[in-house]
Chain A
Amino acid sequence: MSLETLRPSPAMQDFLPTEYKDLVEHGPYNNRNGKEHQTVKVTDMGKFKEVIEEHPMCAGCAMTLFIRLTYIGMPNPEHTIIVGTAGCGRLAISQASVPFIYGNYGDTNAVASGLKRGLEVRYPNQKKDVIVMAGDGGLIDIGFQGLMHSWFRHEKFTTIMLDNEVYGNTGGQESGMTNQGKVLKMAPRGKFGEKVDALGLAKVAGVDYIARLAPTNPSRVARTVRRAIMVAREVGSSYIQAYTSCNIEYSIPTPDVMKDAFEIEKERYGFEEIISPRAKEYLDEIEKKPKKKKSDK
C-alpha cells in the first residue's frame, strides 16, 4: 500500500503542507470509510481536496472538467499511474497528485503496455491501475499503431481519448477525429475524410469495455471511468471516448461550452457503452448491491 511505503513521522505530520494533509485526510487518496475504493462523490465536489486543482488550461475548457471528473472516478488513485503524450490535456494531467509519464509523441499505449506488465511482475499482490489519457490526434493519428496493437493484445489498462476533434495544443489543425468538411488549419478546403470510427475499431479489436460520452453528467463520467478501470484491472482493455470541445479553435463562447456539450451529445455524441460478455459478468459481480437481510428491516 503506497501510503504505507513512505510514511511521515507522527512528530512531523503537523508540519506537512496543508494540501498533503487535506488530500490524505479528506480527499480521494485515502477517503475509505472502511471500503477498498475511495468514496468521495462528484456531488460533494468543492467539499474535499481534489487530486487536481490547479492547471493552466484555457478558461471554460470542457476537457479540464472531464479530467477533474476522471480523477474523482479513479477507484484507487494511490495506486494509479497516468501515461500521456503531447496535447492540451497533459498541461492539467501533469499538475495532479498522481504520477504522470509524459513520453514521446504517440507512444502512450506502448509505454503503458510495458509499464503495466512491469508493475505486474514487481507487484504481484497489489493491483496497479494504468491509464492512458491522451488527445484524439495522439491516439488515432500518431499513436494509432500502438493503440490498436495494445487492444489486439488485450493489454490490461484503460485508454481515455480526450476528443476535442482538433490539434488544439499546436494551434488548431484537423485530426483524424475531426468531422468531414470542417475547415481547420491544414484542411483549408475542409476535412477530406470522415471522422474515424474509433469505437468501431475498439469493438473489432475486442476491447472489453467501450464507452462514449460527453461531460454533461458528472456522476456518469466518474462512474464510467470507474467501470473502465475495474474492467482493465481484471478482464482486459477498456476505452473511453469523451467529447471535450475546444472552445478556442471551434470558437465556442466560454459561457456556452456546456450548452455545446449538450447539443453535440444530443446530435452525435450520446452516451453509449459496449461491454463484452466477460466484462459484463465481472461488472455485475462487483456492482451487485448487497441484499438486505430481513432482520435489517
Chain B
Amino acid sequence: MANVVGAAVCRTAADEGKPADWVPGGERQKVVDPMKMFHELPREMQFITGSEAARESMRRANIDIAIAYPITPQSESMQQAGYLYDEGYIKEYYRAEEEIGTFSAISGASRAGVRSLTATSGPGLMRGMEAISSWPGARTPIIMLNMCRVINTPLAIQPDNIEMSFMLNTGILMLHAENQQDFYDFPLAAICASEQVDVTLPAVVSVDGFFCTHARGPVMITPEEYKLPPRDGWRSAVPAMDNENPPARISRDAPIQKSNFISYHMHSSWQQEVFAAVQRSAKYFHAYLGGLVEVVNPGAEDFIVASGCAVSQAREAVRQEGEAGRKVGLVKIKTIRPFPTEDIYEALKGAKRILVPEFNQAGWLHKELCSVLYGRTKGVIKDGPRVYGGMTMPTEMILETLAEFRKEVK
C-alpha cells in the first residue's frame, strides 16, 4: 500500500514521474568537508541574480526538506527550491498554507532531525513571527532565507530591511548578505554553524530584496558535484523528536506554565542558554567566513559601519573619498547575531566619526552600535543616511552626510 495516490510522500522514480533509471541529483554529488568547500575548492565565476545564487547554494547544501509559501520578492527562490526538489537535490518539498503553517511545519521537520529550509520576506516574516520566535527555544536548526521587504502601511513590495529589527532579540543567528556572492556563501556557512552541537539554533540569512535578489552580479561558485555533509540528527544539544530513545518522558518543549520557582528558573536558564549558544556560534563563523566583520582602511579617523546593501554603497563612497585624498574606513558587519562587538570595537578604536547608513526607518543598526559602544568609544556615532520604502541610496547621499558630519564634529 505504499505510495497510494494522494499520499503525502512519494519515493520511487515512477511515482515522481521519472524514468526508472532516474538518479536524484543529490545522489550524484560527493560530500565534502565544509572547510574545504568554503576555502579550498576551485570556484568559477557566474553572472547571476541573488535568487539564482540562493539556488546554487541550496543545490550544494544537502537539504532534506524545503517548505515554501510565495511572497514577493522571495517567491523566485522557493520556486527554484521546487526545481531542485524535482531534480532530486532536495528530498521533500511542498507549498504550505501560509507563513504560520510554513514556519510551524519547518520546525516540525527540524525536530525530526533533518536539514530544513524555508524562505520569506517582510510581511510573511511578521505573519509567522510567533512560530519563528519559538525556534531558538525549541533548539531547532533551520535555515531561513529572508529577502527583505517593506512591512507596515502603506503596503509596498519594495526593499527595506526593517523586518530584521524584529528578529534581533529572538535568539536566532542572523546574517546580512551584502550582495549575490554573500547570498551564495552565507547560507552554507549558516547551516554548518547552526547544526553544531554547542549551537543547535536556527539561522536567518537576510538580503535586501530586489537590489540583490533580482539583479545580477558576479558570483564565484564551487563545483556542482560537491555538497555539504548531511545533517546528523543525533548531533544536537537536545534530542530529535523521533522516538529513538528508551521509553521516557521526553517533552522537549515541556509546558512550564505553573507559577512556581522551578518553572521560573527553568524558563530563565533555558533562555540564558539560548543566548549563550548564539555567542558560541561566533567561532564557527570566524572559521567559515574568515571573520564576523570585514574592515577596509583600518586606522582611519572617519568610519562607515554598515550591513547588507548599504555596504556596497559605502564601498563606493570610500573609493571616491580615497580619490579625493581622504581616507575613510569601512566596517562590514556580516553577522548581526552574534553581534561582533569586540571586532567592531577594535576596528573603531581610533575613529573620530562613525557613520551608520541604513535601508530602514528605525535605524536599528545605529541603535545596536550605540548600545554596545556606549562609554567605550570617544568617536561620535551618527545615523544616516537612512532610506526606506524602496528608495535607493545614491553614493552622493553618503558623501554629503559625511561632509556634514565633518562640519559637526571637528
Query: Do A and B assemble together?
Result: yes
Q: How many A-B residue pairs have CB under 8 A?
A: 189
Q: Mark A121-136, 1 if CB is under 8 A from B, else 0.
A: 1111000100000000
Interface check B404, CB cutoff 8 A? no
Interface check A5, CB cutoff 8 A? yes
Chain A residues with CB under 8 Å of B102's CB are: 110
Please tell me if the beta carbons of B248 and A81 are within 8 angstroms of each other in the complex: no
Chain B residues with CB under 8 Å of A7's CB are: 246
Chain B residues with CB under 8 Å of A111's CB are: 104-105, 107-108, 111
Enumerate chain B interface residues (CB-CB to A < 8 A). 1-2, 4, 6-9, 11, 64-65, 67, 91-92, 94, 96-98, 100-102, 104-114, 116, 130-131, 134, 138, 233, 241-255
Interface check A174, CB cutoff 8 A? no
CA distance A95 to B266 in the complex (A): 17
A99 touching B4 in the complex, CB below 8 Å, given contacts A8-B246, A121-B92: no
A119 touching B242 in the complex, CB below 8 Å, given contacts A95-B249, A103-B107: yes
Q: Mark A248-281, 1 if CB is under 8 A from B, else 0.
A: 0000000000000000000000000000001000
CA distance A201 to B307 in the complex (A): 49
CA distance A8 to B246 in the complex (A): 9
Interface check A96, CB cutoff 8 A? yes
Chain A residues with CB under 8 Å of B134's CB are: 103-104
Please tell me if the beta carbons of B253 and A117 are within 8 angstroms of each other in the complex: no
Most chain A Cβ neighbours within 10 Å, of B11, B65, B94, B100: B100
CA distance A3 to B246 in the complex (A): 6
Segment of A147-155, A160-168, A288-296 in the binding face: A147-155
Size bracket, chain A contacts: 35 or more
Interface check A61, CB cutoff 8 A? no
Enumerate chain A interface residues (CB-CB to B < 8 A). 2-3, 5-8, 20, 23-24, 29, 51, 77-81, 83, 86, 90-91, 94-105, 107, 110-124, 128, 145-146, 149, 153-156, 206, 234-236, 278, 282, 285
Taking a contact as CB atoms closer than 8 A, the residue among B64, B106, B245 that contacts A6 in the complex is: B245
Taking a contact as CB atoms closer than 8 A, the residue among B8, B241, B255 that contacts A155 in the complex is: B8
Please tell me if the beta carbons of B241 and A114 are within 8 angstroms of each other in the complex: no
Please tell me if the beta carbons of A118 and B6 are within 8 angstroms of each other in the complex: no
Q: Chain B contact residues: over half helix, strand or loop, or mixed? A: loop
CA distance A123 to B240 in the complex (A): 13
CB distance from B178 to the nearest CB of A (A): 31
Please tell me if the beta carbons of B242 and A122 are within 8 angstroms of each other in the complex: yes
**Nearest 7 A-B pairs (CB), nearest first?**
A118-B112, A114-B108, A114-B105, A115-B108, A110-B104, A114-B109, A107-B104
CA distance A117 to B109 in the complex (A): 7
CB distance from B401 to the nearest CB of A (A): 42
CA distance A12 to B248 in the complex (A): 17
Please tell me if the beta carbons of B105 and A96 are within 8 angstroms of each other in the complex: no
CA distance A2 to B241 in the complex (A): 12
Please tell me if the beta carbons of A102 and B110 are within 8 angstroms of each other in the complex: no
Taking a contact as CB atoms closer than 8 A, the residue among A101, A110, A128, A236 that contacts B253 in the complex is: A101
Taking a contact as CB atoms closer than 8 A, the residue among A5, A8, A110 that contacts B97 in the complex is: A110
Q: Can you name 5 extra interface pairs (CB under 8 A) apart from A111-B111, A113-B8, A124-B11? A: A20-B247, A51-B247, A97-B249, A111-B108, A113-B101
Chain B residues with CB under 8 Å of A101's CB are: 108, 111, 241, 252-253
Please tell me if the beta carbons of A103 and B104 are within 8 angstroms of each other in the complex: yes
CB distance from B147 to the nearest CB of A (A): 22
Please tell me if the beta carbons of B253 and A145 are within 8 angstroms of each other in the complex: no
Please tell me if the beta carbons of A114 and B112 are within 8 angstroms of each other in the complex: yes
Please tell me if the beta carbons of A94 and B254 are within 8 angstroms of each other in the complex: yes
Please tell me if the beta carbons of B1 and A282 are within 8 angstroms of each other in the complex: yes
Closest to B11 in A: A124
CB distance from B282 to the nearest CB of A (A): 29
Taking a contact as CB atoms closer than 8 A, the residue among A79, A90, A114 that contacts B107 in the complex is: A114
Taking a contact as CB atoms closer than 8 A, the residue among B116, B243, B248, B250 that contacts A118 in the complex is: B116
Please tell me if the beta carbons of B114 and A122 are within 8 angstroms of each other in the complex: yes
CB distance from A185 to the nearest CB of B (A): 19
CA distance A112 to B111 in the complex (A): 10
A–B Cβ pairs within 8 angstroms, 12 of them = A2-B243, A81-B242, A86-B255, A100-B250, A103-B104, A105-B130, A113-B105, A114-B67, A116-B8, A118-B65, A122-B64, A149-B96
CB distance from A127 to the nearest CB of B (A): 10
Chain A residues with CB under 8 Å of B92's CB are: 117-118, 120-121
Taking a contact as CB atoms closer than 8 A, the residue among B9, B113, B255 that contacts A102 in the complex is: B255
